[in-house]
Each structure stands twice: as structure tokens, then as C-alpha cells.
Amino acid sequence: MIRNFLKPLLSAKGRLNRIGFLHSFIFMLCLFIVLSIINREYIRQADGALTIYLYVKSLQSILLLALWTPSIIKRLHDLDIRGNRVWIAWAALLLDVHNLMLLNIHIAAFLEKIQLVLFIFYAVVLIFYLVLFLMSGSAGTNNWGSPQEL
């Protein structure tokens, strides 16, 4: 049963309707929560080292994005949009404050200066995800196949 769930989740071929996208989102959210709990417990045992936290947080972000990318691509296909728009989600990962802090602990002063730009960018990313969740897919067969059956 888990294999049947994970196989389509990891493939970027085809289309994914809103319900399927919601299911993959819930799966990723649960995985994120589990990884966050493990990260928190690991940091407690490592005396709260900030560098370790940032590395583990970055690895967590990369893992989740790698698993989440095929679902985003398939959802874009369902909207009859090319999957290369997934760069918006990747850019959100790269511009995550935790990942930027990993580059340099003193970057906090720089982040304060560009706080408005980051806010606007994250608002655009939020709108992107809202579109993915709320827009219905294209009717009938499109360039990426027929609609997903429930």
C-alpha cells in the first residue's frame, strides 16, 4: 500500500488534481513535522549548536523539496502549464532565511535590510501555492494526458 502511494508521488509524469495535490501536501506536512521533531531532539542532545541546526534544517528543506517537486510539476501539468515553473518553489527554498544564515551567521544584518523584498517574494510564493490548491485543472486531455481519475 505504501509503495502504491509513493510511486506516483515520486514521478513527475502525468497530471495531479487538487485532491491528489492535497494528499501529497498532507503527506509532506506530516513528514516535515516528524523531521522537525527529530531535528529538535537531536539539537537538544547536541547542546543546541546553531550550526548543526542550520545544516540539518537545510538538509530537511532539500529532502522535502525533492519529494515535493514531482507533485508540483504534475499539478502544473493539470493546469496545462509547463512544469518548469517549479523554479518558484526552488527559489523559495534557496531564499529561506535558515539556508541564507547557513552561508554566514552575520547575514542577519543583510536580511534585515532586504526584509521587505523577502516579504514580497514569499507573498508571491504563497499566491503560487494558492493557485495550485484552488484552481481546477484543465478539462479533458491536455499536453500531459487525461485528467486523473479518483
> What is the domain range of residue 93?
2-134
C-alpha to C-alpha distance for 59 and 32, rounded to whole angstroms: 12
- Exposed (0-12), middle (13-18) or buried (19+): which is 24, by Cβ within 10 Å? buried
Bridge partners of residue 145, in order along the sequence = 142
The pLDDT tens digits for 114-127 are 778 888 888 888 89
**Cα→Cα distances 139→54, 78, 85, 135, Å:** 44, 9, 21, 12
Q: Is residue 148 part of a domain?
A: no
Residue 150 has a pLDDT of 43
Q: Is residue 140 part of a domain?
A: no
Q: Is residue 26 part of a domain?
A: yes
Residue found by looking up cell 529532502 in the block: 63
Q: What pTM does this model have?
A: 0.74
Portion of the chain with pLDDT greater than 90, in percent? 0
Q: Is residue 145 part of a domain?
A: no
Does pLDDT of 48 surpass 60? no
Residue 102 has a pLDDT of 59
C-alpha to C-alpha distance for 119 and 52, rounded to whole angstroms: 26
Please count the other Cβ atoms lying within 10 Å of the Cβ belonging to residue 78.
25
Q: What is the pLDDT of the chain when averaged over all its residues?
A: 77
Q: Is residue 143 part of a domain?
A: no
pLDDT band at 106 (very low <50, low <70, confident <90, very high): low
DSSP alpha helix (H) spans, 79-113: 87-94, 97-103, 108-113
Max CA separation in the chain (angstroms) = 56
Q: Is residue 22 part of a domain?
A: yes
Q: Is residue 100 part of a domain?
A: yes
Does pLDDT of 44 surpass 60? yes
Residue 87 has a pLDDT of 81
Residue 47 has a pLDDT of 64
145 three-state secondary structure:
strand
The pLDDT tens digits for 55-99 are 777 777 778 788 888 888 888 888 888 878 788 777 776 666 666
C-alpha to C-alpha distance for 98 and 36, rounded to whole angstroms: 13
> Which is more confidently placed, 100 or 29?
29
Does pLDDT of 5 surpass 50? yes
- Tell which residue, 7, 125, 10, has the closest CA to residue 63: 10
| Count of structural domains, the chain | 1
